[in-house]
Chain A
Amino acid sequence: MSTAKKIYDWFSKRSSLTAFLFLFIIAGIAFSGRSFLSFNSLANLMRKAASDGGFLALGMTFVILIGQIDLSVGAILAMGGVIMALFGNTHPLLGIFLGLLVGAVCGFANGFMVAKLKISSWIATLAMMLGLRGIVLLITNKKPIPIRNDILAVLGNATFFNINVLVFILVALTLICMLIARNTKFGFGIYAVGGNEDAAKMMGLSVDKIKIGAFVLCGTFSALAGMLLGSRLNTCQPTAGDSWETTAIAMCALGGIKLSGGEGKFSGTFFGILIITIIKTMFNYAGFLNSWWQNIIMGILIMVSIGVQSELFQGKETKQIKKKANA
């Protein structure tokens, strides 16, 4: 095999990475006059990726891999931030702990409804989103809670080598997720449940535990996102993360995580996050476009992505597998 073909194959297997590089190069050329390629703007890009929903996408990946969805990630984000601020202003460590705990608990509730009560994850997490948003507004009396503690303030604002700490956390978490997915029994179980749930049950896996585990991880990541966001903005808003669930889904879809479950890698999600972020950044640079254009583009991207994943374009084998699994 010629080196050219080898390189082509390598890239075509990593479509998200390729797409990202493609966009990056375009942006670099288009905005070269405005120092797009400077260290600062690149660091900003990464920081934006981390703070604008990157963690949500990582958590969401677990849930989509098992063939479900979590529409409450934005609401959990707000909840996590608010709880942290409420308790953390006086007891920072307690605040952090409780913030993460509330994320895990909400995730557990979602997982319980889906696995044990057998409610569709769309309905269950939709209701969770509605209910949580209400609770968050009630707790905060509709007012944002400012951060008054130094430790909390540092969480989202520290920098190392001029790069925001969020970037390091994002990279670290991505690596941890990759480790979990590839190298733990739980990770194996996630792919099994997503690929063919009935088979997974037949092979003796505790499907319910795996499902609940995925939702708990997603909830915890979402709460973490809210805490870090609040720290960065120096205030935790009850309306934080509004509509961010759709961004997270788009990041996953573009990262190659198939919505039908069982396929996709965390490295893909990472680049999906970057792709969405760079598109948003390009919009900012372009300036004249309404931010709502992002919504339109996002909608189209999701449509195209699922249209391509749809039956009409799937290979014969996948169709047969799905047919067997659903028989």
Chain B
Amino acid sequence: MTREILLEMKGIVKTFPGVQALKGVDFFVGKGEVHALMGENGAGKSTLIKTLTGIYQKEAGTIIFDGKEINPKTTIEAQHEGISTIYQELNLSPFQTVYENLYLGREPLTKFGIVNRKKMISDSKKVLEDLGIHVDVTQPLRKFGTAVQQMVAIGRAISINAKLVIMDEPTSSLDTKEVEVLFGVIRRLKAKGIAVVFISHRLDEIFVICERVTILKDGELAGSLGIEELDQLKLISYMIGREAKQLERQKTNYTFDNVAEISSMKNIVQGVRLNGIGIDIKKGEVLGLAGLLGSGRTELAKILFGATHPDSGDIYWMGKHQKLKAPRDAIRLGIGFCTEDRKVEGIIPHLSVKENMTIALLPKISKMGIVSKKKQDLVVNEYIKRLEIKTPSANQPIRNLSGGNQQKVLLARWLCMNPKLIIMDEPTRGIDVGAKEEIEELILELASSGISVLMISSEIAELQRNCDRVVVIREGVKLKELIGRDINQDSIMAAIAGGSQTISREGTVNG
């Protein structure tokens, strides 16, 4: 039972200014193999795939595909070699029909040079039926849900003679039934000898459909094993494993049993991401939200901040029911939100450090709409000092600062508001170790002065060090709560690993 290797990536290196994304990674995929690629954000999965599909160019290493060495410079080149990608955002043409989407760019022509619709329609029907999908191919694509659209994307990949299909988080917007259908399709691909690289965080699914797992961590290969050699706990430890250096946990006993609650969320439901989840936060407490990517932590935080609205559920602040229509309302209550993706949702790139820092504070430091320059400078200088923000001046455009310093400015944005609750989503991501320590010290300082902190983090060591209480979330539901002395890296990992099964372990081979 030898494994015939289809894809051989050896020693792949890729660096970006300031960070080495891939430090010499090996990745082997067999013919007709369903192979999971896993790792947290920043581990290097998407960089690895982008190097394979021509979006990035590797700096070192070799790629051998189907016996031939390749180095694709564009996605089209990769497609011609037989490597297709099904993206999370699908990249299809919504207003055109299913059959048009399947053949866009390679429409069959009749003798007279015009497009042969009849052939397109009949061929598309065949391609999709081959995958076990029966739909009206003459309908516009957008009439169908994500699941069918995905099938169309897969069908297109097959009809372009893909030998390897990469699926990026394919199940993130599917319900259980649709996932079963997808798995049926994947099994058919396997039967045709087409390999599938499956990128996902849903552990249950990995164990159902995949034969092999490769885990990346911090730009390196953490492990590559057959699925039979793994169980959930072992897999998780590869992904978010223990840190060699065990920093001291400052906190010991849980002291908040009789402290007032400042906020609670009950029965929050939103799309497929949040399935009736609730949390509560006490005054002066550091509450950690643990879980893998896609578990719904950021979505929950955004609801608490008023940035998005739940389908159902209630939010309470100081015991009173709230209707948060926009972040404005949350800010008025005294909530601050330091977002995960600072480039897209945080910084105002062309404005200065000073303006970025005080943007939410402006109403408080102005009289009749006019900003008090004196007060503004006072605040800015105080926080530049306190957080040790390295910038030539407060008027420097923020985009000229390093990532770590930008993050500090964003933190200062909320700190200077003297909030009652600060939500921090991956606060130390992309920050050097020295700055990390400073920020963690700050968090503890805040908590001791009575400010509550809701900390979302994928680094369990970070959660272990700083939190009074940790809530473990998985697939939009609350799994477990760890309190006081019970918080350590092992218990957090075990909590994430143990979780209700949402998919049956036996995959049935049906249409």
Contacts and interface: CB of A to CB of B under 8 A. Distances in A.
Interface of A: 179, 182-185, 187-189, 191-192, 194-196, 198-200, 202-205, 262-263, 317-318, 321, 324-325, 327
A263 B104 contact: no
Interface in B77-120: 79, 87, 89-96, 100, 104-107, 109, 114-115, 117
B104 A205 contact: yes
Nearest to A193: B93
B91 A202 contact: yes
A64 to B, nearest CB: 14
Interface string B432-474: 0000000000000000000000000000000000000000000
Given A188-B107, A200-B104, A202-B75, A262 B115 contact: no
Contacts of B142: 317-318, 321
A198 B96 CA distance: 15
A306 B250 CA distance: 59
A55 B208 CA distance: 60
B105 A205 contact: yes
Contacts of B230: none
A196 B93 contact: yes
A179 B117 CA distance: 13
Q: What secondary structure prevails in chain B residues at the interface with A? A: loop
B259 interface: no
Nearest to A198: B91
B114 A203 contact: no
B95 A184 contact: no
Contact of A192 (B75, B76, B104): B104
Given A183-B115, A204-B105, A188 B89 contact: no
Contacts, number: 73
A191 B114 contact: no
Nearest to A262: B95
Interface size class of B (residues with CB under 8 A): 20 to 34
A134 to B, nearest CB: 34
Contact of A263 (B75, B95, B107, B109): B95
A191 B91 contact: no
B91 A192 contact: no
Interface string B352-376: 0000000000000000000000000
Nearest to B75: A202
B94 to A, nearest CB: 4
Interface of B: 75-76, 79, 87, 89-96, 100, 104-107, 109, 114-115, 117, 142-143, 156
Q: Top 7 nearest A-B pairs by Cβ distance?
A: A199-B91, A183-B114, A195-B93, A321-B94, A202-B91, A195-B95, A192-B93
Contact of A191 (B89, B93, B109, B143): B93
Nearest to A263: B95
B135 to A, nearest CB: 16
Contacts of A189: 104-105
Contacts of B76: 204
Contacts of B105: 185, 189, 192, 203-205
Given A202-B75, A204-B76, A327-B89, A188 B94 contact: no
B401 to A, nearest CB: 26
B92 A199 contact: yes
B100 A188 contact: yes
Nearest to B92: A199
Given A196-B94, A203-B105, A262-B93, A188 B79 contact: no
Contacts of A182: 115
A184 B94 contact: no
B96 A203 contact: no
B115 A203 contact: no
Contacts of A324: 89-90
B115 A195 contact: no
Given A195-B96, A198-B91, 10 more contacts: A184-B115, A185-B115, A191-B93, A191-B95, A196-B92, A199-B90, A202-B91, A204-B76, A205-B104, A262-B93
A14 B23 CA distance: 59
A325 B94 CA distance: 10
9 contacts: A182-B115, A184-B115, A188-B104, A188-B107, A195-B96, A202-B75, A203-B156, A317-B143, A325-B89
Contact of B96 (A185, A192, A318): A192
A192 B92 CA distance: 8
A204 B93 CA distance: 13
Contacts of A327: 89
Nearest to B89: A324
A205 B104 CA distance: 8
B91 to A, nearest CB: 4
A248 B377 CA distance: 54
Nearest to A187: B115
Give the one of B106, B142, B143 with max A CB within 10 A: B142
A199 B104 CA distance: 10
A233 B299 CA distance: 65
B160 to A, nearest CB: 9
A196 B87 CA distance: 14
A318 B140 CA distance: 12
A175 to B, nearest CB: 14
Contacts of A196: 91-94
B228 to A, nearest CB: 36
A182 B97 CA distance: 12
A321 B142 CA distance: 8
Contact of B104 (A179, A203, A262, A318): A203
Nearest to B85: A202
Nearest to B107: A185
A322 to B, nearest CB: 9
Contacts of B75: 202
B241 to A, nearest CB: 32
B350 to A, nearest CB: 19
Contact of A195 (B79, B87, B94, B114): B94
